[in-house]
């Protein structure tokens, strides 16, 4: 196995882009992989092990699990972290430096290794001399340096010179040293050169150049729907812990338990108790709880500290030790458990019961049952797919459009799987499941039964035509569930925000990240800001339909108004928050406002071309949609990073996935494009053509990423689409009743569980995001008072950042309404369950992975 070739990405072209972050990781790790016929099963295992270690190292580093990171580096011996080694030298942590080095090479491996160990021990001796402590220096010298005398190597004479040295100023090297910091810097220069020349270390010094969150991206790609009780990151940590334990990387495993705090290893803790290693038991426990957390924690810490104290007094003082046990156990122990080992074993049982009763630790005691080598198996499934998929196309792979549509999927990560099959599909009988309802299976997605389900879905129709009808539209049969319908203000909580002047419809609307104010932009380029205050009128509170906010006006009495372009009738309004600044445009230049004073601080971007949409990708990177292209600019340097061309008409919306590191653009040309932030190359594109609208050019008015940063909501005036980034694989489509059309806007709730859809007839529909089933209809009479024009309807919806059932509506008459369900209800309607043959076209009968 060629060590470096298997995991070092050698490309130095930092402007080169990969198809997507996950495929970038796959390419970096698997690019040197041979054709399938040249692979043996053993090679794949060794490959998988190495690549998985690399991905885990990256994950530990990103999650700041530093101790686990460096322990895994030592235990796996795959990557020598030069930066960490340098830190130990510069900080004078000589024991830690030598321990780290010893994990990769031994003193007698070669002359470079011998010199490395000698220089570390010599510098340790020098610092003792600088402190004028020759006695300490000699005590350090002989145990650590005597080995070099025995070997009689090139360091032999230098050691004797050090022994005879009376005044450190007499030594040419030491006389140049002003302080220990400069001495360590000089020492590091020598050590760095020795590390780089050491043949044992040379192939372990370069870490692959991977996109951020490599392992997490791959796991999310192969299992997009993890368990609900734990996050995908927590489940990934469980998988890593299992892998470390199986591979006997015990130090890393137990250190990660402590740093991640998701699993308290009772057996590991018990080992310390039984062996009487009280300090280690206290240290492990302290990672999860402290004595002052609760009485349970206090009792456990007291027991451990008392045992430590008694052990120091006398190893055989068993009577005193027994007194800490419960009264009903003392008599038994006095007669039956007089030896210390037995006593500690029974003490361990008592402490375990205390741990189980501790509310802080109770939910950290159960490790999920899972198949052996689960994480390694998942990675091998990726490899098995990747090798034949790309074996003949490694040349220029970075520039190719790699389709991840057929990448293997697993129904679960580390929990018992459950697969639900909609039995209305005619081909569902191919599945060995009574009535096509539910079956349990511990295998992965490649199981024969699941493949049967997938094949049946293919026979039912192309997945790109997956078609979900409104559950009560009558297009594909009416739902027998009673739809929750809200018609009156008494059936919900509705609030009209106070306004002194109505100056055109609300075109843009958003909440602050903290949820304490809401900002609107109207058609006449004017901004309005409402703040929710406590009774003292000084401190802010979260937005609520129960409390009326104030229309904010700064003491300057300024009004935030954008420049209007030369063609205001065709201008698109857009704004973006970068706290505490507002970036906004209404067809003219982009204005930057201070939200506290409403002062315009600057303007930029003179049309033409006009700005149609913009958003911040990162704190200082700005994406600007124009008439037919996209500019990527650095806000700090005011320089253009990239100019993205691929649309034929104006950009209507932009959405950024921070997990996938991709930007998605929608255009008036009915096209979606995916751009990689690594090189800004186009990864994928797709034109949207709806059923029955092949002759029209449907405009995507809005796009938005789901909370998982993979599923993309695309809003067209006649339907809703869900795509999967970065491939734009079409997942679902929802078509409302013809009488409700057109759609004016749609957005996800903050928790990603619901989609709120507004219509020109004024109604709001609430969909279940996962299935696109209709759960509630809010009619216009519930929030607009009688007597207003029938032409008043919502143009835009803003979802509250923390309250998933709280929305704000920007209306055509300039008003903003806030809606919430009744407190007694808690949410909008109930989540309907799919019925056989209802609400689904035949194309959507594929297995649903829960």
> 507 pLDDT band (50/70/90 cuts)?
very high
- Average pLDDT, integer, range 416-431: 31
pLDDT on residue 149: 63
pLDDT on residue 13: 34
Among 296, 289, 225, which residue's Cα sits nearest to residue 261?
Answer: 289
pLDDT tens-place string over residues 278-298: 999 999 999 999 999 999 999
CA-derived radius of gyration, the chain: 33
pLDDT on residue 170: 56
Inter-CA distances, 276 with 266, 269, 356, 748, 783, Å: 15, 11, 21, 55, 69
What gap in Å lies between CA 125 and CA 562, rounded to an integer?
70
pLDDT(274) > 80: yes
pLDDT on residue 514: 84
What gap in Å lies between CA 283 and CA 301, rounded to an integer?
10
Q: Determine which of 16-20, 164-168, 384-388, 613-617 has the lowest per-residue pLDDT on average.
A: 16-20
> 821 pLDDT band (50/70/90 cuts)?
very high
Q: Determine which of 36-50, 59-73, 715-729 has the lowest per-residue pLDDT on average.
A: 36-50
Instruction: Point out which residues pair with 729 in neighbouring strands.
Output: 724
> 703 pLDDT band (50/70/90 cuts)?
very high
pLDDT tens-place string over residues 758-806: 999 999 999 999 889 999 999 999 998 776 656 799 999 999 998 999 9
pLDDT tens-place string over residues 563-599: 887 776 667 889 998 878 899 999 888 999 999 899 9
Rounded to whole angstroms, the maximal C-alpha distance in the chain is 104
- Average pLDDT, integer, range 357-365: 91
> 80 pLDDT band (50/70/90 cuts)?
very high
- Average pLDDT, integer, range 237-248: 91
Given a contact cutoff of 8 angstroms between Cβ atoms, the answer to whether 657 and 709 are in contact is yes
Both structure tokens of 538: 């000084």
pLDDT(264) > 90: yes
What gap in Å lies between CA 210 and CA 215, rounded to an integer?
10
pLDDT tens-place string over residues 425-448: 222 222 222 222 222 222 222 222
pLDDT(76) > 90: yes
What gap in Å lies between CA 590 and CA 611, rounded to an integer?
8
Which H or E run contains 632? strand 629-634
What gap in Å lies between CA 585 and CA 593, rounded to an integer?
11
Instruction: Tell me the average pLDDT of the chain.
Output: 75
> 244 pLDDT band (50/70/90 cuts)?
very high
pLDDT on residue 432: 29
The terminus-to-terminus CA distance of the chain in angstroms comes to: 39
Length of the chain: 850
pLDDT on residue 637: 82
Q: Determine which of 8-12, 187-191, 330-334 has the lowest per-residue pLDDT on average.
A: 8-12
The single-letter DSSP state of residue 20 is: S
pLDDT on residue 20: 54
Both structure tokens of 690: 């709806």
pLDDT(350) > 60: yes
pLDDT(842) > 60: no
The angle subtended at Cα 390 by Cα 384 and Cα 395, nearest 5°, is 145
State what percent of residues in the chain have pLDDT above 90.
Answer: 36
What b/e readout covers 690-712, taking b as 16+ CB neighbours within 10 angstroms? Answer: beeeeeeebbbbbbbbbebbbbb
pLDDT(601) > 70: yes
pLDDT on residue 628: 82
What gap in Å lies between CA 395 and CA 52, rounded to an integer?
24
pLDDT on residue 403: 55
pLDDT tens-place string over residues 141-196: 666 666 766 665 555 566 556 655 555 455 555 555 557 787 888 889 889 999 99
Please give the residue that has the higher pLDDT: either 246 or 463. Answer: 246
Given a contact cutoff of 8 angstroms between Cβ atoms, the answer to whether 419 and 450 are in contact is yes
- Average pLDDT, integer, range 92-117: 92
- Average pLDDT, integer, range 606-626: 86
Both structure tokens of 693: 């609208």
- Average pLDDT, integer, range 644-662: 91
> 345 pLDDT band (50/70/90 cuts)?
confident
pLDDT tens-place string over residues 229-238: 667 888 899 9
pLDDT on residue 27: 58
pLDDT tens-place string over residues 712-731: 999 999 899 999 999 898 88
pLDDT on residue 118: 86
* 824 three-state secondary structure: coil
């Amino acid at each position: 196995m060629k060590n470096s070739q298997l995991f070092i990405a050698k490309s130095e072209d930092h402007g080169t882009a990969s198809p997507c972050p996950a495929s970038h990781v796959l390419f970096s790790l698997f690019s040197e992989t041979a054709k399938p016929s040249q692979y043996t099963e053993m090679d794949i295992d060794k490959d998988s092990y190495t690549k998985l270690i690399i991905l885990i190292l990256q994950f530990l580093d990103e999650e700041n699990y530093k101790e686990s990171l460096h322990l895994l580096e030592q235990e796996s011996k795959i990557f020598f972290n030069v930066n960490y080694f340098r830190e130990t030298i510069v900080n004078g942590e000589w024991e830690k430096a030598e321990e780290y080095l010893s994990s990769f090479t031994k003193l007698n491996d070669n002359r470079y290794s011998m010199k490395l160990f000698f220089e570390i021990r010599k510098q340790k001796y020098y610092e003792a001399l600088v402190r004028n402590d020759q006695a300490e220096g000699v005590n350090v010298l002989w145990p650590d340096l005597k080995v070099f005398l025995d070997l009689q190597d090139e360091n032999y004479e230098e050691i004797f010179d050090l022994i005879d040295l009376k005044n450190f100023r007499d030594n040419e090297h030491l006389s140049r040293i002003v302080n220990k910091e400069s001495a360590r810097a000089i020492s590091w220069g020598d050590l760095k050169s020795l590390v780089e020349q050491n043949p044992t270390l040379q192939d372990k010094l370069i870490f692959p150049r991977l996109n951020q969150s490599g392992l997490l991206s791959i796991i999310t790609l192969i299992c997009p729907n993890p368990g609900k009780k734990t996050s995908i990151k927590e489940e990934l940590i469980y998988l890593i812990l299992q892998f470390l334990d199986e591979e006997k990387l015990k130090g890393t495993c137990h250190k990660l338990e402590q740093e991640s705090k998701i699993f308290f290893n009772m057996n590991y803790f018990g080992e310390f108790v039984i062996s009487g290693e009280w300090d280690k038991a206290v240290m492990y426990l302290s990672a999860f709880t402290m004595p002052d957390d609760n009485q349970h924690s206090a009792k456990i810490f007291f027991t451990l500290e008392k045992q430590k104290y008694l052990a120091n007094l006398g190893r055989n003082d068993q009577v005193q030790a027994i007194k800490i046990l419960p009264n009903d156990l003392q008599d038994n122990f006095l007669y039956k458990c007089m030896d210390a080992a037995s006593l500690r074993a029974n003490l361990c049982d008592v402490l375990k019961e205390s741990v189980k009763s501790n509310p802080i630790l109770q939910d950290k005691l159960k490790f999920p049952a899972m198949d052996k080598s689960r994480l390694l198996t998942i990675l091998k499934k990726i490899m098995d797919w990747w090798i034949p998929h790309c074996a003949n196309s490694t040349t220029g792979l970075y520039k190719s459009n790699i389709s991840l549509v057929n990448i293997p999927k697993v129904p679960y990560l580390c929990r018992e799987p459950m697969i639900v099959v909609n039995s209305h599909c005619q081909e569902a009988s191919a599945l060995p499941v009574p009535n096509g309802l539910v079956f349990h299976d511990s295998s992965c997605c490649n199981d024969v039964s699941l493949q049967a389900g997938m094949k049946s879905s293919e026979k039912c129709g192309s997945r790109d035509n997956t078609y979900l009808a409104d559950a009560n539209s009558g297009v594909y049969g009416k739902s027998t569930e009673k739809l929750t319908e809200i018609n009156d203000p008494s059936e919900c909580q509705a609030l009209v925000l106070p306004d002194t002047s109505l100056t055109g419809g609300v075109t843009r609307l958003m909440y602050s990240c903290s949820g304490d104010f809401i900002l609107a932009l109207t058609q006449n380029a004017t901004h309005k800001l409402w703040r929710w205050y406590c009774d003292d009128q000084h401190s802010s509170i979260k937005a609520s339909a129960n409390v009326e906010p104030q229309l904010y006006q700064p003491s300057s009495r300024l009004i935030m108004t954008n420049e209007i372009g030369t063609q205001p009738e065709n201008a698109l309004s857009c704004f973006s928050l970068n706290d505490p600044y507002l970036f906004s445009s209404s067809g003219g230049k982009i204005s930057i406002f201070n939200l506290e004073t409403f002062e315009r601080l600057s303007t930029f971007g003179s049309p033409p071309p006009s700005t149609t949409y913009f958003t911040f990708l990162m704190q200082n990177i700005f994406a600007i949609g124009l008439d037919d292209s996209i500019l990527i600019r650095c806000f700090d340097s005011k320089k253009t990073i990239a100019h993205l061309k691929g649309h034929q008409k104006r950009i209507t919306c932009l959405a950024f996935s921070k997990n996938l590191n991709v930007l998605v653009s929608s255009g008036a040309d009915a096209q979606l494009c995916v751009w990689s932030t690594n090189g800004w190359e186009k990864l994928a594109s797709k034109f949207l053509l709806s059923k029955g609208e092949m002759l029209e050019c449907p405009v995507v008015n809005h796009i938005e990423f789901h909370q998982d940063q993979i599923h993309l909501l695309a809003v067209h005036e006649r339907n809703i689409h869900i795509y999967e980034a970065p491939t734009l694989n079409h997942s679902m489509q929802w078509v409302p009743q013809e009488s409700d059309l057109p759609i004016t806007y749609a957005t996800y709730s903050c928790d990603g569980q619901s989609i709120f859809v507004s219509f020109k007839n004024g109604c709001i529909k609430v969909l279940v995001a996962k299935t696109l089933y209709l759960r509630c209809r809010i009619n216009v009479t519930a929030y607009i008072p009688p007597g207003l024009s029938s032409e008043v309807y919502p143009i835009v919806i803003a979802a509250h950042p923390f309250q998933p059932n709280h929305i704000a509506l920007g209306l055509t008459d300039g008003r903003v309404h806030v809606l919430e369900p009744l407190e007694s209800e808690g949410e909008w309607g109930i989540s309907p369950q799919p019925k056989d043959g209802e609400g689904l076209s035949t194309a959507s009968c594929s297995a649903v992975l829960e």
